[in-house]
Structure formats: structure tokens, C-alpha cells
A and B are shown apart, each in its own frame.
Chain A
Amino acid sequence: MTVESTAARKPRRSSTGGGKRASARKPAPQKSTEPELIQLLTPEGKRVEDAKNAVYDAYVADITAEELRGLYRDMVLTRRFDAEATALQRQGELGLWASLLGQEAAQIGSGRATRDDDYVFPTYREHGVAWCRGVDPTNLLGMFRGVNNGGWDPNSNNFHLYTIVIGSQTLHATGYAMGVAKDGADSAVIAYFGDGASSQGDVAESFTFSAVYNAPVVFFCQNNQWAISEPTEKQTRVPLYQRAQGFGFPGVRVDGNDVLACLAVTKWALERARNGEGPALIEAFTYRMGAHTTSDDPTKYRNDDERVAWEAKDPILRLRAYLESEGHADEGFFAELDDESEALGKRVREVVRAMPDPDLMAIFENIYADGHALVDEERAQFAAYQASFADAPAAGEVK
């Protein structure tokens, strides 16, 4: 549709010239053909069962009440962790924080779809996915506090380091997946990125490579509607999930605020990958309820109405409504979870406040695996310089 209309409007050289041409050439607004959105749970918490969902429904058909409570617990605790980190930034304990508020369902649904032997490549906001992978959430805070540039061993939970340069990790995920395929293993890889990232060359190249080599990688794009101040329309003229088609693999748009749908669609995509059917793109249609990061001021570029509209689609409320209407959870469960949330918040607070500043010599650590003469020389100079201060501890002395 859009592709054709663009081709038809291919600009020809006009003899009229003039400075107004640029605006006359603006693409016509897209037809509001709402793309298909896979949704299994409505914002009111009602289960959706229709034909177009059937293939995905199958992946959650036998989900138990306990598993549903588990998803709810994951989302609540992740939100609590995120709120605590935001508060800690305000208190000056963290230099920066990128909140996931509003994106819990996309992250928990997709994260819980992964298997232990799968490998996850996050961007910098995937705190909920990290949670699902068993990464201690306090590990995520080191880089935001400024005590390290990573903070965990990626191999201990098959959860790669956060990547700040937009889009880079999609290629790493693709390469990793190519390796999985070469090894004949049946695990899969999932790469997270945002709608803004979809504009990067690296992301397009990862689509190309994964398709050409049939790599077992799932691209999970959280379209939270904004890339800092720029709306998705500043990145694309077609719905993002449709990009996949041009590269030769399927794309699906899922309701990113519906944890059940995110779980089902991601399971579907990971299973395809495991079965040797190659990559898939999932666009989780969601919303960043907070600021881009704690340094950002969203009032500069968006209005409150939008947020209010999305609040009605809150991922946590809708699952709660479902749990309650089905009698899957009682008051005791929610009360216990409240206590657990508070305990998590407290632990995070304590751990962060107690996080020591790194040792000065850390500047020179882990630069090369095999060592390097220049680093050795500079390390020695630095140590001598530090020792030259009268009040500084001498080398070897404990502070």
C-alpha cells in the first residue's frame, strides 16, 4: 500500500521551480489502516479469542493460574525496582536512569518466553528482561551510578551487557545466532531495540545478515512511540513490523501492553528460530510512560493527553483484572506481593547506597586480555602520581 503510493508520487523535475516545492512534496499522511495487532487480553482484562490469534493462542493455551500470577509478580516487582531507581536518581545516588515504566508487559512477556540456553541482547532499558533472566537487578545500577561500564558477566545468565550506542547490539545478536546455527544447537537469540533504533544502518544490516544466513534470531522492537523527542513518524512511513517483509522474514505487531500476547508471540518466534525457520521481527506496540531518561523533559515535546490515553492500557492493571475475574488470585496474593515489593525497594536502596566507588586503578584494568606495554607504563605513572600526594596512602597501604 504505502510502498506503491510512494512510487506513484515519485517526484519529477518540475519547471515551476520555486522555494515552496519542498513542502508541496511532503508525503501525504498515511491512511489510518490500523495494522493487525495481536492482543490476547483487552485493556479491561478480558481474554480475546478470535481466528487471527489462533496460531499464537496455542502457545499460552495451557498456561496455569500460577504462571499467570508469576507474570503479574514479575511486572509488579520490575515496576517497583524501576520506581526505586528513579527515586535514587532524584536523590543523587544514580547519575542517570532510563525508566521502563509502561513497558513491563513487553519485557516480561518476551523475557519469560526465553529458555535458559537462549541468549539475550538488550539495549539499556531492558530491566524487566534482565529480571526474567535472573540477573540481580542491583547489578543493573552500577553503570547508572557511574561505578562501572557494564556490571555483570554476560555469560552467567546469557544476558549481554547493556548497549548504549543505538542499534549496535542487533548485529552482535545476529552473529551470535549465526554461531548457534553453525554449532547445530537448538537455542535461539533475541535482540531488543527501540523504534528509533530501527533507523540505524546496523539494524538494517542485521536484518539482511539474519535473513541471508537464516540465523535463529528474534528481533524484538519495543515501539514505545518515542525516540527521545521524536515520534515514530520521524523514523518510518510504514508500520515497523512490515519492514521484515522486505528482508524476507515475518513481522508481527503485538499489543505491547498485553503480557500474555507478548509471551505467546515471542514463544512462537523463538520456536520458529529453533526449528531452523530463521529470524522474525516482533513490534511490541507500547508506550514509554515516563521521560526518556531522568535527564529528559518530555513536556517539551508531548502532551499529557497521550499519556492519559495510554494509562488506560496499563499492562499491570489489565492482568490484575483478569486474575481477579477468573479467581486466579486472592487478596492474600496481592498483599504478599506488596510486601515483597517493599522489601525489594529497600534492598535496592541499601545495595546502591553501599556501592563503593571503584578503585582508582580500575582505570587500567581489563583493557587488554594479554596486557600492553603502554598501559603498564601509564598505570605505573598514575600510581606514582597518586602516591605523591602527602595525604594519599602509600602503595600497598590500605585506606
Chain B
Amino acid sequence: MTGSHGQHGAAMGPGAGELIAVVGAGLVACGYLLAARRLRRRGDTWSPWRDVAFGTGAAGVVWAAVGPLPGGPFTAHMGRHLLVGMAAPLLLVLARPLTLALRSLSPGTARRWLLALAHSRPAGWLVFPPLAALLDVGGLWVLYRTRLFAGMGHEPWLHALVHAHVLAAGLLFAFTVCRLDPVRRRWGLTVRGTTLLAAGAAHAALAKTLYATAPPGTSFTAGDLHAGSQLMYYGGDLVEAALAAVVAASWYRAAGRRQRRRASADWAYRGCARPADSGFLGR
């Protein structure tokens, strides 16, 4: 056994964990699309790109659970890890699921509960970006630098648990860094940017140590180990750049709104009408 936990699915058919992932992702995606349809029928605008992002993210989770992935056992594991822990969470978070839920639920118990949960104190702690980063990247250090990774290959339930944690932590991290949904405490650009920088550095450093030293208790071939750690390094880069672009784009939009507000306040103060044709105003 080389710790190639990913192969037990192929050998024995989908296990309980895979089944839960597929059914769960399917149900959640259906719920999202139905809620978005409800909003549009009511006359609200909801960008179709958010539907696409959410559907693709859910499909990524399904693919990671049952789909074939190229490369040796470690490379395939790393591909799965990238999909479940980074790419899919970013896509799911971009679709603003909490905003959609709050807007599509009719006023009543369910909506009140969700709002209470989003504004609760523990939720406020969880969305503190450094804590989310610690749960996400810190969890990876524990996974690859203790015997947990080797143990995961022997115990299907441990394998399912680890991947559930990777998905949950990835979602939390993307959620707090992007800050697209309304939550109790909204952290500023500096905290989120610094957190992204630190988490990215820790991720890159972990990928480089994996290139040199396999997780304890495993024996992958050198080629597999190198391909897997390079996938982690450059794949991580891609998602980090995408996260940074989301953060920067939201800053850009907010700055534009501030400029327009200041400009119109200024013109009101001078007692003039706003010039309609000033291209610099944007919309």
C-alpha cells in the first residue's frame, strides 16, 4: 500500500463517502438554481454567471469524488485536493450562495434562523481571515507532515473525513478572503490581503517540501512525488491569483462608487447639475 487512497474507489466502486458527496453536491446545486429562478421570476436581477459558477463548482466536487484523474497516485490525489480544496470553493463562493439564500427565502422561520446564524458570534469568529487560513493551510501541514496521510489510505472513513474538512476549510477561506456575502464582521482589505499572502506563502513552501520529502509513512515514486508537488505549487498559484483578482476587483468597484459619490456631493455643494456626458463617471 503506497497511501494511494484514491484507488479504493476505482477498485470497489463508489464508497459511502463518494455517494454522499455526489448526492449532496447535486442537491445543493439544484437548490441554488431553483432559488435563482425564483428570484428572477420575482423580477430581481441575478447574474447567470453566478449560476454557471455554482454549477461548475458543484460539478468539480462530483468529479473529484468519482471522476478519473490523470497521473500517479500522488499526482491524482493532488489534483483531487486542488479541485475540492481550492477551485470548487472559489467557484461556489463567487456565486454568493448566502446572499441568494437570504434574498430568495420568504420572511419566516427559515430566513430568521439563517440570518441569526450568519450574524452569530461564532460565525463572526470563523470569518476572521487568519483563523480561516490556519484551518485551511494549517490543516494541510498536519495532513502531509504527520502520519495522517498514510492512515487515510487504510481507512475509508478517515479519507472521507479529511476531504470533507478540505472542502469545508477551502470554502471558509475563499468566503472570508473574497467577502462577497453579508456576514457579521466585514474585515478590510489589509487583513484579507495579508492573509492571502501568508496562506499562499505557506502553501508554496509546503509544496516545495513535498517535492523533496514524501509525507511520512508513504512511498511514492520520485516522479509521482515531483509531478504532484509541482501541481500543488502551480495550481495553488492559479487559484491564489484568481482570489487576488476577486479581492482587487471588489476594491476597484468600491473605489469607483466612492469617486462617483464624492463627485456628485461636490457638484451638489457647488450648486451645479452633474454633467451628464462626463465619461470618467462610468455609468
A binds B: no
